[in-house]
Each structure stands twice: as structure tokens, then as C-alpha cells.
Amino acid sequence: MNWSEDARDGAIVASPQGKIDESSAQAFGTSLESAVERAAGESARLVVDCSGIAYMSSRGLRALTLAKRKADGAGVKIMLAAPNEVVREILAISRYDKLFGVTDSVAAALAA
Amino acid sequence: MLVRFWGTRGSLAVAQTAGGIRGKIARALVAAGGRTFSDEAEATTFIDSELDFATAGTYGGATTCIEIEADGDGSYLLCDFGTGAREFGIDAFRRCAAGHARLYNVFMSHLHWDHIGGFPFFGPAFDPGATIVIHSGHPDAEQAFRRQQEEISFPVAFDWLRAKIEFVTLVPGQSYAIGGVEVQVMEQHHSHKSFGYRFTDRNGKTAVFSTDSEHKIESMEGETQVADFFRDADLVICDTMYSLADAVSMKEDWGHSSNIVAIDICHEANARRLALFHHEPVYSDDDIQRMHRESIRYEELTRREEPLEVLCAYDGLEVRL
């Protein structure tokens, strides 16, 4: 799993690449929580650009939950943007689309 | 090895309602599209080939009770005494009349009421020729069984039961030879603890019973040990009561797990089959069927080298390994 970030339009946009499963979930979670801290320090929202995620298992989804708990405590809003069809289905099956705002594009998440 | 499900519901036994049956009949009639059937056999063929399970049948409403028929020492092997134990007991009488040994080796996941509430109605407990050995990781198992039959709760006292009843405490991490099968025990996270069991018969067939086990979000790394317990199993029976979203939010710390986590652990363990189990009592047959279909789809989306067959347990299901 690769990770990159950039700051724009009042948000930190995080871009993980690869699959998020038990082999990469810990690194994913650590990177997410660091991004939450950065967003909190800049009074920004955190947008996770999901377009580079091949799929996400329950470990990845739960890492998102842990990051959201931290974000809620720091007043940071997390949005999930541009999931591919596989990730979109996984978000629906797990009902995680009820826990997180999901947009079709990063632009839509930045504008939300 | 044959695994037979007598009770698959969690928390509370439920029953079909008149309205529920009426809805199934209406859907079946619509699906028939005006066709006529000359006899019940023809109608049964239509049901089996053209109706989905939620319309044609029911997942049932009895609470946890699972039987394992293994090439062992001829004793019955049972997991938990939920309300499904009543029907099992009636069937056991039939088999004992045909010569089956009247020895019951029972393995308790834990002592909550949905897992012991069938015992006062377990007919063989009244058989003076029966021996019932209740294995548990809980040293206070006998206290739980006796207490539910105190007069304030039930009119028949535990001491009135005629069978020889023994309680044996098992230790997690140890391996036992019981009933002609190898039994391993794993401690699980649940209120007052719960225990999972791994059964292996002399032919190497393995079934794992892991219910009422919450996989805590703060200790996901521990799931590697759970995957080791499930390793290469022919059948894993898992608590899949809640969606993952519910399990990490409003139902966190309720002691249960989700279909998504069960599939992931079974993938990691290279298990062959998963039986979704301990169904939420609020769920209708349509809800459970939807959850089953979504679970099958999730397994497809996240599959590794070998497919994991995802079954959905129902009262009466038999799985031959």
C-alpha cells in the first residue's frame, strides 16, 4: 500500500494506493491517523481519495472507524471520495456508506 | 463428519407469524403465474426449482444448538443447549430407540440464556439411562444450569432430572480426546467470556464452532490467532449477527461479530466453508437471505486463491464434510 497527501481547498487529500487487507491495514491506519492530525492542525477536512484502492477488507474499514473516532474528537470531518465499483460495493455491503459520507469525486468531496 | 443445525438464532427464540406465512404463500402463488400442479410432488419440484429460500422456507427461530455426527465413539456431540435442543432431544429418543448410545458430550460456548434455555426441555435429561457430560471453559457452568431451574424461574428442579449429568471444565489452548474426536478450545471475547471449539475426527475432517465472539476493533492483530484456530477447517460456524457498521458503532461491546469479519478471517485461515450463524432475532427471512447474498458477493470481491463457500445456517440444515 502506497500513500500520498496534498493540501488543497481547505482539505488534506490523502491518496492510498493498492489493496487494504490484513497485510497493509496497520500501515493504512497509521497513515490515516497522521493525516487526521495534520488536518486538525490546519483546521481542514480530510478527504480520502479512494480511486487508487483496489479493495478494502474489514481491517481497512475498521481502520477508517478508528481514524474517524480520532477525527471526531479533533473536529475533523472525513469524506470518502471516488471509490471504484468494488470498494463502493464493499462500503454498501458493510453498511459503511451509512457511517461515512461518500462522493463520486474528490471535487465533490471538497465542495460538500 | 455431518454437522446438523437444530437452532441458529441468537439472543432470543422467534417464531413465524401468520402474516409472515401469508406473505410467503402470496409470493409463491404469484411466482407460479397461474400454473396448476397435479400433486404435491409436482408442487414441491416447483418450490425447489423456482422459489428462493426466504419464500419457500424459513431460517427458523430456535436458538443455538448444533450437532456433530462424527466417526467417533458413538456418543452424541452437541454444541450448546439453546431452544433447538428440544427438537434434538426428541430426535435423539428416536435414534436411541434404534440402538444409538445414550451418551451426550456437550460443548458450551457460554452460559447466556439463549445457549442454555433449551436444557429444561431436553428430554434425555429425564432418561435415567442417559449420561450427559457438559464440557465448558466456565468453571461456574453447573451454577448457571441449576439456577435457571430454581423454582422462581422454572417448575422442575435440576435435581429432579434422572440422567447422570456431569460438568467438566476445559482449558483453552489444550487438546482433548472426547467422544472419539479431537477437541481444541479457544477463549473468545464476550460478556463473562465465551469459548470456541475445533473438532477433528479420525478422518481429518474439521469443524469449528465459534459463536458469540466479538472481534474488537482495538485488537485486530489478535485475529491472526483466530485465523490459526480456523486454519484449513472444512467448516467454520461463525457469529455473523450484525453488519460491520453496526458492530463498530451502536452495537459495539454487545459481544458479536459480522459477516465481513468472518469471511476475512476464513480467507486468512484458508477455510473451505463458512456458515453464517447466530442470526439477529429482529431479522426476517428476507433480511437473512439478503445478508447471505451480500456475504457471497463480498467473498467474491475479496477472494484469494481458493473460493470460500458461504452457507447460511438455518434450523434443519445438514452439512456433510
Chain A positions with Cβ closer than 8 Å to B: 21-22, 25-26, 55, 57-59, 61-62, 65-66, 86, 89-90, 93-96, 98-99
pLDDT in tens, B36-45: 999 999 999 9
The Cα–Cα gap between B269 and B261 comes to: 12
Test B302 with A66 for CB contact under 8 angstroms: no
pLDDT in tens, B72-93: 899 999 999 999 999 999 999 9
The CA-CA-CA angle for residues B25, B31, B32, to 5°, reads 90
pLDDT in tens, B127-148: 999 999 999 999 999 999 999 9
Beta bridge partners of B166: B133
Predicted local confidence at residue B1, as pLDDT? 97
Kindly report whether the global pTM for this prediction surpasses the value 0.90: yes
Confidence tier at B265 by pLDDT (50, 70, 90): very high
A82: nearest Cα among A112, A104, A111: A104
Predicted local confidence at residue A37, as pLDDT? 95
Confidence tier at A112 by pLDDT (50, 70, 90): confident
Q: How far is A32 from chain B (nearest CA, A)?
A: 15
Predicted local confidence at residue B314, as pLDDT? 98
Average pLDDT value over all residues in chain B: 97
Confidence tier at B121 by pLDDT (50, 70, 90): very high
Cell of B297: 458477493
Q: How far is B7 from chain A (nearest CA, A)?
A: 25
The Cα–Cα gap between B69 and B51 comes to: 30
Predicted local confidence at residue B71, as pLDDT? 87
Question: Which whole number is the average pLDDT over B297-305?
Answer: 95
Q: Say what the ipTM of the complex is.
A: 0.94
Beta bridge partners of B63: B9
Which residue in B has a C-alpha nearest to residue A92's C-alpha? B294
Predicted local confidence at residue B113, as pLDDT? 97
- Hey, is B13 helix, strand or coil? coil
Q: At what angle are helices B259-269 and A58-74 packed, to 10 degrees?
A: 130
* Cβ atoms B251, B265 nearer than 8 A: no
Cell of B7: 437452532
Question: Which whole number is the average pLDDT over B62-78?
Answer: 96
Residues in chain B: 321
Which chain A residues have a beta carbon less than 8 Å from that of B297?
A: 89, 93
